[in-house]
């Protein structure tokens, strides 16, 4: 597996070792020992799958307290996946990083606790699969407006299809300090 640093320290792209043969392909999506050797999580406690049609945008979401780190990937289709640093006191607070994830490129994106996450679907359909470092706690579910001008994400889609919750998420500047994760150097 190859680990690629991004402009957001802590958020890394992973290119797994893919084994192809006449039958198709095989690759490990997570291996605790191998991930541990790269300083990546050796434990996940929840696995999610979602399916979305072209132009859907899910995000920007985070959980606080009890933040979730997420190892995200696309089983089928293509998305533009985005992480935003929303940790109070972080030198990269409010900055974002995006990467194209697809069934074709098999890329994974590791998004540590304390980041908001979202994706926009670039293909007719996308099946999105991800592992989380903590379980979902409905009362801790939170969001940041997808098109917050202070963050300025270029989602690669126009007029996305959003849930009502996402369409009305607050701007980062309007979120109370105690509702945001804290940066730990």
Ligand X SMILES: Cc1cn([C@H]2C[C@H](O)[C@@H](COP(=O)(O)OP(=O)(O)O[C@H]3O[C@H](C)C(=O)[C@H](O)[C@H]3O)O2)c(=O)[nH]c1=O
Active site residues: 61, 130
Nearest to 49 by CA among 132, 107, 117, 116: 132
Determine if 59 is a binding residue for ligand X (CB under 6 A): yes
Nearer to ligand X, 37 or 51 (CB): 51
Collapsing DSSP states into helix, strand and coil, what is residue 126? Answer: strand
Which residues, 6 or more positions from 161, have their beta carbon under 8 angstroms from its beta carbon? 53, 55, 56, 57
CA distance 18 to 2: 11
What's 172's DSSP letter? G
Nearer to ligand X, 119 or 155 (CB): 119
User: What track of x and - describes contact with ligand X for positions 79 through 118 (by CB under 6 A)?
Assistant: --------------------------------------xx
Collapsing DSSP states into helix, strand and coil, what is residue 167? Answer: helix
CB of 83 to ligand X, least distance (A): 9
CB of 26 to ligand X, least distance (A): 26
Binding site for ligand X (CB under 6 A): 48, 50, 58-59, 61, 70, 117-119, 136, 163
């Amino acid at each position: 597996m190859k680990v690629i640093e991004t402009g957001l320290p802590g958020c890394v792209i992973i290119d797994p070792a893919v084994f192809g043969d006449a039958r198709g392909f095989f690759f490990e999506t997570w291996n605790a020992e191998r991930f541990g050797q790269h300083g990546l999580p050796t434990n996940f406690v929840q696995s999610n799958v979602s399916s979305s049609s072209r132009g859907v945008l899910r995000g920007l979401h985070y959980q606080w307290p009890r933040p979730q780190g997420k190892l995200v990937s696309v089983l089928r289709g293509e998305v533009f996946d985005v992480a935003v640093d929303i940790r109070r006191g972080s030198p990269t607070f409010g900055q974002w990083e995006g990467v194209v994830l697809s069934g074709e490129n098999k890329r994974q994106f590791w998004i540590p606790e304390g980041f908001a996450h979202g994706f926009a679907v670039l293909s007719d359909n996308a099946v999105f699969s991800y592992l989380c470092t903590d379980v979902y706690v409905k009362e801790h579910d939170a969001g940041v407006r997808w098109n917050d001008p202070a963050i300025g994400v270029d989602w690669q889609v126009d007029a996305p299809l959003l849930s009502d919750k996402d369409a009305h998420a607050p701007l980062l500047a309007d979120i109370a300090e105690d509702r945001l994760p804290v940066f730990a150097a």
